[in-house]
């Protein structure tokens, strides 16, 4: 084992971090075992002098939308003049992306210093864990969470937005004392760890609720909503709920496939927008035409949750002006959330990894990418761009549930696997699922009904690709400039394909 002094550069820091147990990259996640417990995280931050206690925190959980909502809140707080830390996971390219201050990831030298700071403490805890066969010492996520808290405390941020990694009740971030707790949504994901019903999942997510701390909930389904209401009531926490205390109306953009990277819409709007309302404090507030930097009706819901959190912070004497709020919402960016990498062809990267998030992505494709290239909107034309899906996912995900939503919407499907994680499903296994789904969608006349409700001849063409590199080569060979490509199914395939498509975009000769 190396000593702390030998962490002299980024390579050594990364080698150390990646040598820790990383449940993001294991085939199983023992969430309900003794391996997942807050006691170890509490000891870790205690040894580091509890940096989280100096932070004013917004704590964000949820099945989907928590990353986007966190980014929106952080963007507005930065625009309002607050030095704002944002902790998100997983990262796409570099671990530094998890530790962000005012939109800028931490520098390599800062990462090295943070690893040097935590390593002696981790080594001490490793020695202590040797006496307990069920204790494995601090994990990768626990260490990076502690590093984020150290980083934000040392940089004296005014606010820290912490995204929950998994669940909530036992998540490493749950050692904080937040100003506001947030639960964006509840749907089926990580059922093996969190439970098989929405009520069980809601109980885990609501584990972040602290006594007396206000909670903003975007949850609308009755079963999980009832559990959140119960837990908030038991802990004496004021609960602000979507549909009752706040709401929104979403206006989607229509994104024509051209070379201009700016979204082109029928009414001149450069971005989607919402009309937001809230009734906090017994008084109605209306915010018309709030533009959002992220595309999708689900992002409208996330924006409404974020705006409500900001309303609560204003009630706690935070200075968050309306103009800063509008700028922050319009300027927010979140990689791999309906991210448009290019426009000729149109290439979309989205990290959807459960049926609920895939349903949101499918809705975006219908609302904002429905027309064929070159067809102005509105139009009577029923044409749409030829669509190619690139799909890979993890063993613990509902591959069939996601593909059942996606297969009818695409003309060509490339099934692949990511390489940087052993949880990847073999593309041959995905092929069997895809064939079953395609057969289910074929009518008596042998035609298939696509995602827009229009018949087409035959099922989509399905190709198995061994890895992201061969997938990229297939796209270069087959995709025309007037077509659309969507990469989805996992953060990991989004990261690997995003890197390849950024280094060598489609439509650009080598």
Give the domains, in start order, of the chain with CATH numbers: 4-331 (3.40.1190.10), 339-503 (3.90.190.20)
What average pLDDT does range 108-113 have in this prediction? 97
Share of the chain above pLDDT 90, in %: 76
Cα separation, 136 vs 127, in Å, equals 10
Sign for the pseudo-dihedral over CA of 454, 456, 460, 461: negative
Backbone angles phi, psi at 188, to 5 degrees: -80, 120
**Residue entry with tokens 């027309």:** 371
DSSP H or E run through 419: none
Q: What's the chain's average pLDDT?
A: 88
* Strand pairing category for 448-449 and 246-251: unpaired
List Cα–Cα distances, 167 to 64, 128, 131, 182, in angstroms: 11, 27, 28, 13
Residue 334, number of CB atoms within 10 A of its CB? 20
Which letter, b or e, does each residue of 472-483 get, where b requires 16 or more Cβ atoms within 10 Å of its Cβ? bebbbebbeebb
Higher per-residue pLDDT: 406 or 383: 406
Cα–Cα distance, 69 to 310 (Å, whole number) = 11
Greater model confidence, 233 or 452? 233
Under the banding of pLDDT at 50, 70 and 90, the label for residue 372 is: very low
Residue of 415, 391, 399, 412 whose CA lies nearest to 458:
412
Flag whether the pTM goes above 0.85.
Answer: yes
- The Cα–Cα gap between 493 and 467 comes to 10
Residue 103 main-chain phi, psi, to 5 deg = 85, 0
Distance, C-alpha 146 to centroid of its chain: 21
- What's the pLDDT at 24? 65
| Closest alpha carbon to 485 in 271, 335, 342, 272 | 342
Burial 139-169 (b: 16+ CB within 10 A, else e): bbbbbbbbbbbbbbbeeebbbbbbbbbbbbb
Whether the pLDDT of residue 376 is over 90: the answer is: no
Q: CA–CA separation, 288 vs 284, rounded Å?
A: 13
CA distance 151 to 350: 29
SS3 state of residue 371: coil
Angle, helices 108-129/38-47, rounded to nearest 10 degrees: 120
β-strand partners of 104? 101
Residue range 243-262: mean pLDDT, rounded: 73
Query: What's the pLDDT at 305?
Result: 98
pLDDT at 262: 39
**What average pLDDT does range 311-337 have in this prediction?**
97
88 Cβ contact list (under 8 Å, min separation 6):
67, 70, 71, 97, 98, 100, 163
CB 442 within 8 Å of CB 459 = yes
Decide: 150 and 144 in contact? Cβ < 8 Å.
Answer: no
Whether 185 and 62 have beta carbons less than 8 Å apart is answered as: yes
For residue 64, give the 3-state DSSP assignment. Answer: coil
- pLDDT tens-digit profile of 401-428? 999 999 999 999 999 999 988 889 999 9
Tokens of 472: 């990229």
How far is the CA of 169 from the CAs of 36, 38, 98, 189, 193, in angstroms? 10, 9, 21, 15, 12
Reading the block at residue 196, the tokens are 């098989």
What pLDDT, on a 0 to 100 scale, did the predictor assign at position 2?
A: 39
Integer Cα distance of 73 and 71 in angstroms: 6
**H or E element: which one contains 285?**
strand 285-291
Higher pLDDT, 135 or 92: 92
CA distance 421 to 489: 14
Measured distance between the N- and C-terminal CA atoms of the chain, rounded to whole angstroms: 44
Q: How is residue 442 annotated by DSSP?
A: B
Nearest-CA neighbor of 320 among 328, 332, 310, 308?
310
Q: Which of 3-7, 281-285, 336-340, 391-395 has the lowest mean pLDDT?
A: 3-7
Distance CA 294, CA 79 (A): 17
216 confidence band (pLDDT: 50, 70, 90): very high
Q: pLDDT tens digits, residue range 152-167?
A: 999 999 999 999 998 8
Rounded to the nearest angstrom, the gap between the alpha carbon of residue 438 and the centroid of all alpha carbons in its chain is: 28
The residue length of the chain stands at: 510
């Amino acid at each position: 084992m190396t000593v702390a002094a030998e962490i002299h550069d980024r390579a050594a820091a990364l080698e150390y971090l990646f040598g820790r147990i990383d449940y993001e990259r294991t085939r199983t996640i023992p969430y309900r075992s003794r391996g997942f417990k807050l006691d170890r995280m509490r000891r870790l931050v205690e040894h580091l002098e509890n940096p989280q206690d100096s932070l004013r925190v917004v704590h964000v959980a949820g099945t989907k939308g928590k990353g986007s909502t966190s980014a929106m809140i952080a963007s507005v707080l930065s625009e309002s003049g607050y030095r704002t830390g944002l902790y998100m996971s997983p990262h796409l390219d570099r671990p530094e992306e998890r530790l962000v201050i005012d939109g800028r990831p931490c520098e390599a030298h800062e990462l090295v210093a943070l690893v040097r700071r935590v390593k002696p403490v981790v080594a001490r805890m490793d020695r202590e864990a040797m006496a307990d066969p069920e204790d494995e010492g601090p994990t990768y996520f626990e260490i990076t969470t502690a590093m984020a808290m150290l980083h934000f405390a040392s940089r004296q941020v005014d606010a820290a937005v912490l995204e929950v990694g998994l669940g909530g009740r036992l998540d490493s971030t749950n050692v904080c004392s937040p100003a506001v707790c947030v639960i964006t949504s509840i749907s089926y994901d990580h059922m093996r760890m969190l439970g098989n019903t929405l009520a069980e999942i809601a109980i885990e997510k609501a584990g972040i609720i602290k006594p007396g701390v206000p909670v903003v909930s975007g949850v609308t389904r009755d079963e999980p909503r009832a559990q959140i209401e119960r837990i908030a009531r038991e802990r004496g926490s004021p609960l602000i709920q979507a549909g009752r205390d706040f709401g929104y109306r979403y206006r989607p953009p229509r994104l024509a496939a051209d070379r201009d990277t700016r979204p082109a819409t029928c009414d001149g709007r450069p971005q989607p927008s919402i009309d937001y309302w809230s009734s906090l404090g017994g008084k109605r507030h209306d915010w018309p035409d709030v533009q959002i930097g992220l595309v999708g009706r689900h992002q409208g819901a996330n924006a409404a949750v974020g705006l409500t959190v900001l309303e609560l912070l204003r009630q706690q004497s935070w200075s968050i002006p309306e103009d800063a709020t509008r700028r922050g919402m319009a300027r927010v960016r979140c990689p791999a959330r309906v991210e448009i990498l290019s426009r000729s062809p149109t290439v979309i990267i989205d990290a959807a990894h459960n049926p609920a998030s895939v349903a949101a992505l499918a809705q975006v494709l219908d609302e904002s990418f429905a027309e064929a290239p070159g067809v102005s909107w509105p139009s009577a034309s029923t044409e749409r761009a030829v669509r190619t899906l690139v799909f890979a996912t993890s063993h613990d995900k509902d591959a069939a549930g996601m593909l059942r939503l996606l297969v009818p919407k695409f003309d060509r499907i490339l099934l692949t696997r990511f390489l940087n994680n052993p949880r990847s499903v073999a593309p041959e296994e995905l092929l069997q699922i895809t064939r079953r789904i395609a057969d289910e969608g074929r009518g008596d006349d042998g035609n298939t009904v696509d995602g827009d409700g229009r018949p087409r001849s035959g099922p989509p063409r399905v190709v198995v690709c061994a890895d992201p590199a061969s997938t990229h080569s297939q796209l270069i060979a087959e995709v025309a400039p007037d077509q659309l490509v969507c990469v989805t199914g996992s953060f990991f395939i989004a990261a690997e394909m995003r890197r390849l498509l950024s280094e060598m975009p489609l439509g650009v000769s080598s």
